[in-house]
Structure 1
Amino acid sequence: MAATTAHERPGTTAAGRLGALARAELTLLVRNRTSLFVTLLMPLLMVGSIGTSVDRIGAEKSGLTLLEAVMTGGVGMVLVIVVYLNLVPAYVARREELVLKRLRTGEATDPEILAGTALPSVALTLAQCLIMVGAAVAFLDVRAPRRPELLVAGVLVGIVLLAALAAVTAGLTRTVESAQLTTMPLFLVSAFGSGLFVPLEVFPERVQDVCALLPVTGVVQLVRAGWLGGGDPGELVRAAVTALAWTAVSVFAVRRWFRWEPRH
């Protein structure tokens, strides 16, 4: 067998490329104090706001205890903040700095570039969800997840959905600064219409039917059913179908319209 010449190099693996992209993105995240605040501290502040909101309307109206409403809403809030709110400016910044354009000239595929950028946020999301569930069960006398498979499925689908929605929103966002505006519609709609701040059960039935079709609602319903148990099988199927449908539409939109070049 002929010896390998000095100019021949073995190709990198997908795992190696993802790891390198994730390490670079984590370094940038740690250096950016604003992003670090959004990722680590803002979810805790929002959980406190959820408690105040639920306490005012009365948790008993939703059939949940105050802690159950706060903790299940808190998991959804972690998903929205750490994945969506953090990734939109990250994608925009890398695009405007020509990082994405340069990465496309290498071996990494488009999905690998987007996934590698998202990996630190995904890891932090999983860690915060685990800590939240563990702390609630160990110290706050909240019951352990009744159907952990549903809870895990809800979190994983939520991560993919919100990462895809972040990429879609980034395509519509001109600058990092304007990301604060372009992310607000989904954040507010999810916070008040998907059961994060206010359980849907307190709304009139027609409003509940409309809110059930929102992107994050299905994820929140799966998380709640997984943690607290119960839930009508038909409603759980509808929640799963809604979440997966939004995920498929979002992934299609990213493949079709994501912008890799700076917006001028």
Structure 2
Amino acid sequence: MSAMVERATGSTMTRSLRRVRALARSELRMLLRNRTAMFTALVLPVMTVGALSSMDLGDDTGLSMASLTVTMLAGFALLYVVYYNLVTAYVGRREDLVLKRLRVGELTDAEILTGTAVPSVLVAIVQIVLTWAVASIAFGLDAPVNALLVLVGVAAGVVIFVLLAAVSTAITRNVEMAQVSALPVLFVCMIFSGMVVPTSNMPDLLQQIVQFVPLTPVIDLVRLGLTGQTPDGDTVGFGASFAEAAVPAAIAVVWVYVGWWALRRWFRWEPRT
């Protein structure tokens, strides 16, 4: 009996992965045809990080320019490539009634949202990996203190900003409005998450507040995994990094829960009448 259940479960998962893969291929083709989306995904994060890196922020942050660049690119990739691109993608598919038609078929709601998100997520991950590889070769970036925390941070960031992108569609009437509706999240995360200037350089009261910005726990985990630098500005080794990761990891879990709850409550599958 248990073997039959396992086979049925495996077969269901296989079919689900095939449906997600088919939808993701379709979304990738549309992404490649959209010059604005490709510019946002591939050029804008790199340009922004390059401009900020030229300001010699490493001297003020206590980080090497290589680790600062990788951390910034990770943050900008999540904001621009995952969050902003997906706000426009979800709204565009909703307004064109694509989401409504997809729900009539075999695809589940989770498969539709996941398949739409896969191309943007893959582009963001490729950007982050390539930036880390270039920084390691060109700037002599040391091996990560705790690579597991880097992976956890990036994975948490992907989930958080996919969910936030879906939630943001509730206040976005059309694709053009995405440029406005996405601004609050982009602005707050870029200024107060610590991806450019560590939160340890901020006033104490502000530090307590900004740790709950959705990108902050992601940046804290990535920076801690790369360099061993804690949110307080101290430096720890491999073993101690797990204890230091507890708070940002917990905050990231809260954001995942909040995002999932908000998606279920406010996400619209059809245009507003």
Give the CA deviation at 1:178. 0.4
Task: Tell me, in whole angstroms, the C-alpha distance in 2 between the residues paired with 1:240 and 1:259.
Answer: 29
Q: Which runs of 5+ in 2 are unaligned?
A: 1-10, 231-240
Contact 1:50–1:196 (8 Å) recurs in 2:
no
Task: Tell me, in whole angstroms, the C-alpha distance in 2 between the residues paired with 1:28 and 1:67.
Answer: 34
Q: What RMSD, in angstroms, separates the aligned Cα atoms of the two structures?
A: 1.7
**From 25, 41, 44, the counterpart of 1:42:** 44
Spell out the pairing of 1:107-186 with structure 2 (5 A cutoff): 107-186=106-185
Contact 2:61–2:197 (8 Å) recurs in 1:
no
The residue that corresponds to 1:261 in the other structure is 270
Identity of aligned residues (%): 42
TM-score (norm 2): 0.88
- The amino acid of 1:244's aligned partner reads V
Contact 1:164–1:251 (8 Å) recurs in 2:
yes
Give the CA deviation at 1:22. 0.3
- The amino acid of 1:37's aligned partner reads F
The residue that corresponds to 2:25 in the other structure is 23
The residue that corresponds to 1:239 in the other structure is 248
Larger deviation: 15-24 or 202-211?
A: 202-211
Give the CA deviation at 1:129. 1.1
- Residues 211-261 of structure 1 show CA distances to partners (whole Å, capped at 9, x for unaligned) of 111111000000001111243655421111111101111011111211001
Contact 1:73–1:195 (8 Å) recurs in 2:
no
Spell out the pairing of 1:35-74 with structure 2 (5 A cutoff): 35-53=37-55, 55=56, 58-74=57-73
Task: Tell me, in whole angstroms, the C-alpha distance in 2 between the residues paired with 1:16 and 1:191.
Answer: 36
SS in structure 2 at match of 1:196: coil
Give the CA deviation at 1:50. 2.5
The residue that corresponds to 1:86 in the other structure is 85
SS in structure 2 at match of 1:253: helix
How many residue pairs end up in the alignment? 252
TM-score (norm 1): 0.91
- The amino acid of 1:84's aligned partner reads Y
Contact 1:145–1:226 (8 Å) recurs in 2:
yes
Contact 1:100–1:113 (8 Å) recurs in 2:
yes
Task: Tell me, in whole angstroms, the C-alpha distance in 1 between the residues paired with 2:260 and 2:150.
Answer: 22
Contact 1:25–1:117 (8 Å) recurs in 2:
yes
Contact 1:92–1:173 (8 Å) recurs in 2:
yes
Larger deviation: 113-122 or 206-215?
A: 206-215
Give the CA deviation at 1:126. 1.3
Residue 199 of structure 2 corresponds to residue 200 of structure 1: yes
- Residues 48-87 of structure 1 show CA distances to partners (whole Å, capped at 9, x for unaligned) of 133145x2xx534432123322221221111111100110
SS in structure 2 at match of 1:131: helix
- Residues 103-154 of structure 1 show CA distances to partners (whole Å, capped at 9, x for unaligned) of 0000000000000000001111111111011111111112122211000010
Contact 2:145–2:225 (8 Å) recurs in 1:
yes
Larger deviation: 92-101 or 125-134?
A: 125-134
**Structure 1 runs of 4+ off > 6 angstroms?**
none
- The amino acid of 1:163's aligned partner reads V
Task: Tell me, in whole angstroms, the C-alpha distance in 2 between the residues paired with 1:212 and 1:34.
Answer: 32
- The amino acid of 2:220's aligned partner reads Q
- The amino acid of 1:255's aligned partner reads R
